[in-house]
Amino acid sequence: MQYQALASLLKPEVARIGFATCLMLAVFVPSMEALGAEQAAEQALPSVATPTQPEVEQPAAQADTAIQPAAGVPQPFEVPVLSDLLESADAPRNYWSGKFATFANDVDRFFGDPRYFQEANGSVLQLNVAKVFEPGGDGAAVLDGQAKLDLPATEKRFSLMLESNPEKNLSGDTGKQRPVLANDVVTSNNQSAALRYEKPPEESRWHFSADTGVKVRVPLEPFVRTRASYTLPMENWRMKAAETVFWFSSIGAGETTQVDFERFVSEPVLFRATSTATWMNDNHKFDLRQDFTFYHTVNERTAMLYQTSVIGVSEPELEATEYVLLMLYRYRLHKSWVFFEVSPQLHYPKAKNFDMSPMLLLRLEFLFDGSR
């Protein structure tokens, strides 16, 4: 009885709902059919709007470029291409990379660093008169030097190399500002002459050179060297890697790997971290060194250098053999080719149980490279 009463109450409501539903279907379905017909017609037509003005015939070459999307049709969102973003960053990167490279090269030139001598695009003559004061030393003055003379009619690809002690700086890049070790400043008659082939450095970030020469003594001692370097800008840093392979009749074959990381600390200050490893085939071990250097340009005539170094070997076990702290004051005495240096140094060699051993270096340098 309760279900029958409930059904009698719902019958009018169901009737009203049914009538409303039929009415909605009668109105809505034809509208949907008409809309579907319009969409089908649009899909069947070309995707361009029909011009209201008489159509002007266009050349066939311009027909594709004249096609525009239909008015009112939403267009897809255009995502910037990665290559466009990278191209927009090229200008500031090139500016800072060029500024960085120019500043670093100017620093190396001012300090007479072998990096500048190795890759100078022209003739260079460098003469040094050095005197070292240390406990138990004789303080004898030593004259040495090196020259790179471009040969005419070779488009700067061949040059004549003249050096004192060519095997002393086996990497061809070890900085002159590195710590002065006991066997570095010695009286020597080991003069050498070599013919160098060099790829012009402006062609790429690569620099390549190859030397064939002899040490001038009786009997003559031949040697060969090949050096390649690559420079890579890295945001605020610049990395430079150099590889040198050599053979001297007096000391045998070997190779040296050197990596520099450089960056600006401030406008007049350059920081450089240098890692060097030299392998000698005869003794089968690596000579290792790590230098951390700050170059501070005080003014156009004066610059300071602050450096800490760790020197070590790989055999019979990996160990440090010496720690060094040094400061170097360099002053340009005359124009751009006469310089004076004072370098106090503190050495802590393993041979002396890492006790402090002070040293003082005085150097007068003459640098001729075409600058005024």
pLDDT in tens, 128-142: 999 988 887 776 788
pLDDT in tens, 31-60: 445 545 545 444 444 444 444 444 445 444
Please tell me the predicted confidence (pLDDT) of residue 68.
53
User: Quick check: 243 and 228 in contact, CB under 8 A?
Assistant: yes
Please tell me the predicted confidence (pLDDT) of residue 154.
79
Residue 49 lies in a domain: no
Q: Is residue 65 exposed (0-12), middle (13-18) or buried (19+ Cβ within 10 Å)? A: exposed
Question: Containing domain of residue 177, as a range?
Answer: 96-368
Residue 27 lies in a domain: no
Query: Which DSSP state fits 172?
Result: S
Name residue 194's beta-bridge partners: 161, 213
Residue 285 is encoded by which pair of tokens?
Answer: 């071990």
Residue 230 is encoded by which pair of tokens?
Answer: 């690559």
169 CB-near residues (< 8 Å, 6+ apart):
114
Is the pLDDT assigned to residue 331 strictly greater than 90? yes
Residue 76 lies in a domain: no
Coil, strand or helix at 249 = coil
Number of domain units in the chain = 1
Residue 87 lies in a domain: no
pLDDT in tens, 162-176: 988 887 766 444 444
Please tell me the predicted confidence (pLDDT) of residue 266.
84
Residue 109 lies in a domain: yes
Q: Is residue 41 exposed (0-12), middle (13-18) or buried (19+ Cβ within 10 Å)? A: exposed
30 CB-near residues (< 8 Å, 6+ apart):
none
Q: What is the CATH number of the domain that holds 213?
A: 2.40.160.40
Task: Give CA–CA dist 80/340, Å, rounded.
Answer: 56
Residue 89 lies in a domain: no
Please tell me the predicted confidence (pLDDT) of residue 137.
74
Residue 183 lies in a domain: yes
| Residue 330: closest CA among 112, 133, 106, 100 | 112
Residue 1 lies in a domain: no
Task: Give CA–CA dist 22/25, Å, rounded.
Answer: 5
Residue corresponding to tokens 């003379």:
149
* pTM for the structure as a whole: 0.68
Query: Which DSSP state fits 316?
Result: S
Mean pLDDT within 113-131: 80
